[in-house]
Homo-oligomer: A and B are copies of this chain.
Amino acid sequence: MPYYVGRVVDSEQSLVARTPEAFRKKQNIDVRIRHEVEAVDLAGRRVSGRDLESGAVFEKPFDTLLIATGASPMVPDIPGVRSRNVFTLSSLEGGVELRRFVDENAPKRAVIVGGGYIGLEMAEALLGRGIETALIEREAEVMGTLDPDMGSLVSGAVEEAGVALYRKESLTGFEVGGDAVRAVVTDQRTLPVDMVILGLGVRPASGLARDAGIPLGEKGSIRVNDRMQTPVEGVWAAGDCAESFHLVSRRPFWVALGTVANKHGRVAGMNLSGGDEIFPGVVGTAVTKMKDTEVARTGLMEREIRALGLDFVQARIDDRTRAGYYPGSAKITVKLLAEKGSGRLLGGQIVGGEGSAKRIDVIAAALHAGFSAGQLLYLDLGYAPPFSPVWDPVLTAARVLVSSF
């Protein structure tokens, strides 16, 4: 949706993966949109709810139930937060509404609250629309899923892109005039605005499951086993509302990302239709970009490693994305973290120019394999001058990490 708002993508329809009609025709699945389930009766094996168009109440019995209610954006309980120029990005409709607002009102000044994935992508989108954009981040650096030393590189890219970045600063209120927010108030300043984007993260939309008595797990997500089955017989959950297993921490983990949701869906769908498919788990991989700066992370960051009580070593290297002499070679910074003693790889973070982000996939694969830094070092990765230095930057980081043992 940030790309749709930023006019990088122009057709709203191209963002629809599959229409209700396609579900009906191709898979013989009866998809009812704008139908909200309000209660699940586990004993009676039925769901009940409301047709949001007609207002009519409905009830539907089930043998097998899949809960795929997704995630909801965090919205602070501040007066004015429901004003017509305050947006979150959580549904296609929300994105369409936001773009229409920009198209019709030509806002001049925007404030984004929160410097995570949504915040950064929206900042790029709004800059692309010629809107003067400020970003408020509570922490010392944007991108809180990276360690601060790597996050600072992203903060730099945000500022370089032309965003007024206010770090270590918190939203405290809105100045409202009529049906709109006129200014954003922080603990440091007041910023006049024409529009506000809230990028404060999401939480599992698990209220329906909770109210039905289905056990919740990590961060309020629906507890599932590696077949995406909840502890309640015949009830399954998948996607942003459901729990995952973290293969590095070996603990339950919750993450709301399209890739993981898609894998959940495949596994749940196969199993509830009689198959026997296992979802092994995730390693916490995510990528994004801010203009020409690509950002990637996987595994555990320092804070998470400390919380597990593990000792670690780390290496951070600056390198080039291509052979130094090859045109278009860009700067790349790679950080690796490994367990002290065993050398087991725990995580990696990458910030750099074109060709940086997807290098995280090798580190992710290494985490799936349980590789040590020493094993990562000798991976037979592809080399040609247009694509990499002879030692891929990921391998160079492993080399430095290994020499620090």
A96 to B169, CA, bound (A): 58
Task: Note all chain B residues with C-beta closer than 8 A to A357.
Answer: 382, 384, 387
Q: Tell whether, in the assembled complex, residue B368 and residue A368 are in contact, meaning their CB atoms are under 8 Å apart.
A: no
Contact with B along A340-358 (1 / 0, CB 8 A): 0000000000000001011
Distance from A222 Cβ to chain B, minimum over Cβ atoms (Å): 20
Enumerate A351-372 residues with CB–CB distance to B below 8 Å. 355, 357-362, 364-369, 371
Q: Is A326 an interface residue (CB 8 A)?
A: yes
**Cβ-closest chain B residue relative to A385:** B3
Interface centre among A358, A380, A381 (most CB of B within 10 A): A380
**Cβ-closest chain B residue relative to A117:** B384
Q: Is A296 an interface residue (CB 8 A)?
A: yes
Q: Tell whether, in the assembled complex, residue A287 and residue B382 are in contact, meaning their CB atoms are under 8 Å apart.
A: yes
**Cβ-closest chain B residue relative to A11:** B325
Q: Is A52 an interface residue (CB 8 A)?
A: no
Question: Of the candidates B260, B361, B391, which one forms a contact with A362 in the assembled complex, judged by CB atoms under 8 Å apart?
Answer: B361
Q: Tell whether, in the assembled complex, residue B364 and residue A379 are in contact, meaning their CB atoms are under 8 Å apart.
A: yes
Task: Note all chain B residues with C-beta closer than 8 A to A279.
Answer: 378
Q: Tell whether, in the assembled complex, residue A259 and residue B390 are in contact, meaning their CB atoms are under 8 Å apart.
A: yes
- Given contacts A326-B3, A380-B282, A381-B259, whether A362 and B360 have CB atoms under 8 Å apart is no
Contact with B along A370-399 (1 / 0, CB 8 A): 010001001111111111101110000001
- Given contacts A262-B390, A368-B375, whether A327 and B8 have CB atoms under 8 Å apart is yes
**Cβ-closest chain B residue relative to A369:** B369
Task: Note all chain B residues with C-beta closer than 8 A to A266.
Answer: 399
- Given contacts A262-B391, A326-B9, A390-B258, whether A287 and B365 have CB atoms under 8 Å apart is no
Q: Tell whether, in the assembled complex, residue B355 and residue A358 are in contact, meaning their CB atoms are under 8 Å apart.
A: yes
Distance from A36 Cβ to chain B, minimum over Cβ atoms (Å): 26
Task: Note all chain B residues with C-beta closer than 8 A to A369.
Answer: 365-366, 368-369, 371
Task: Note all chain B residues with C-beta closer than 8 A to A367.
Answer: 380
Distance from A296 Cβ to chain B, minimum over Cβ atoms (Å): 6
Distance from A381 Cβ to chain B, minimum over Cβ atoms (Å): 5
Task: Note all chain B residues with C-beta closer than 8 A to A355.
Answer: 358
User: Besides A259-B390, A262-B391, A286-B382, 4 other CB < 8 A contacts?
Assistant: A258-B390, A358-B359, A358-B388, A361-B381
**Which 4 interchain pairs have the tightest Cβ spacing?**
A287-B382, A369-B369, A365-B365, A14-B325
20 contacts between A and B (CB under 8 A): A3-B325, A8-B327, A14-B325, A247-B380, A258-B390, A259-B380, A259-B383, A266-B399, A282-B380, A286-B382, A287-B383, A287-B384, A287-B387, A296-B382, A358-B382, A360-B382, A361-B381, A368-B379, A368-B380, A369-B369
